[in-house]
Amino acid sequence: MNNRTHLMLLPAIATLLLLACKDKAPAANNNTDQAPATTVAAQDKAPQFGGTAKGDSLFFFLERTPCFGRCKAYRISVYRSGYAQYEGRLNVEKEGLHEGRIGADTLALLLNEAERIGFFDMKDSYDAEVTDLPSTIVKIYANGKGKRVLARVGTPPALKAYVEQVESLLLPVPWKPLPAKD
């Protein structure tokens, strides 16, 4: 056969192959690395901690601001992976920047309790023109939504109780000091 015959046969062979495979069902995937469909569906219903961006986005944030007295002032940031940072600022046992790990069960508890008290439906601010009172700031990013609440004056009792519960869960974490940045 010459080159011209080969060139004429190639399109015909390609067409036959396409037609032969067109009506066949795809072969079953025997790859054991894939999760069963029920597991994937269950994962879709699992809470999504953090923002929608890929990577280790912020899930939970708590800040207690200073006052003119001896109020504790600190910040805690918890990320979707469970990595957390604590920054002790004033009148706290641990000052400076620390890191720790928060378990998935605690992440779920933080979110479930927030949803139970209606955190995402609360006002953005409970405040008044008072300068000497500390503020509490809570931010939560989960399940495609985010909310920030500043609480200083007229804070709902449910939010106060939630912050106390959060402190009882997060302050005792074995925080490890991070070296000071130059």
Asked if the structure places residue 127 within a domain, the reply is yes
Own/partner long-range contacts of 75-79 (Cβ < 8 Å, ≥24 apart): 76/170, 78/102, 78/107, 78/110, 78/170, 79/50
Question: Measured between alpha carbons, how far is 23 from 26 in angstroms, rounded to an integer?
Answer: 9
Asked if the structure places residue 140 within a domain, the reply is yes
Q: What is the pLDDT of residues 15-31, one digit of tens each?
A: 433 344 444 333 333 33
77: containing domain: 58-177
Asked if the structure places residue 40 within a domain, the reply is no
Asked if the structure places residue 38 within a domain, the reply is no
Question: Measured between alpha carbons, how far is 89 from 104 in angstroms, rounded to an integer?
Answer: 27
| pLDDT value for 177 | 97
Asked if the structure places residue 48 within a domain, the reply is no
pTM metric for this prediction: 0.72
Asked if the structure places residue 145 within a domain, the reply is yes
Asked if the structure places residue 133 within a domain, the reply is yes
Q: What is the pLDDT of residues 52-83, one digit of tens each?
A: 666 689 999 999 999 988 999 999 999 999 99
Task: Name beta bridge partners: 76.
Answer: 62, 86
Number of domains in the chain: 1
Asked if the structure places residue 22 within a domain, the reply is no
Residue 69: give its domain's CATH number: 3.30.1560.10
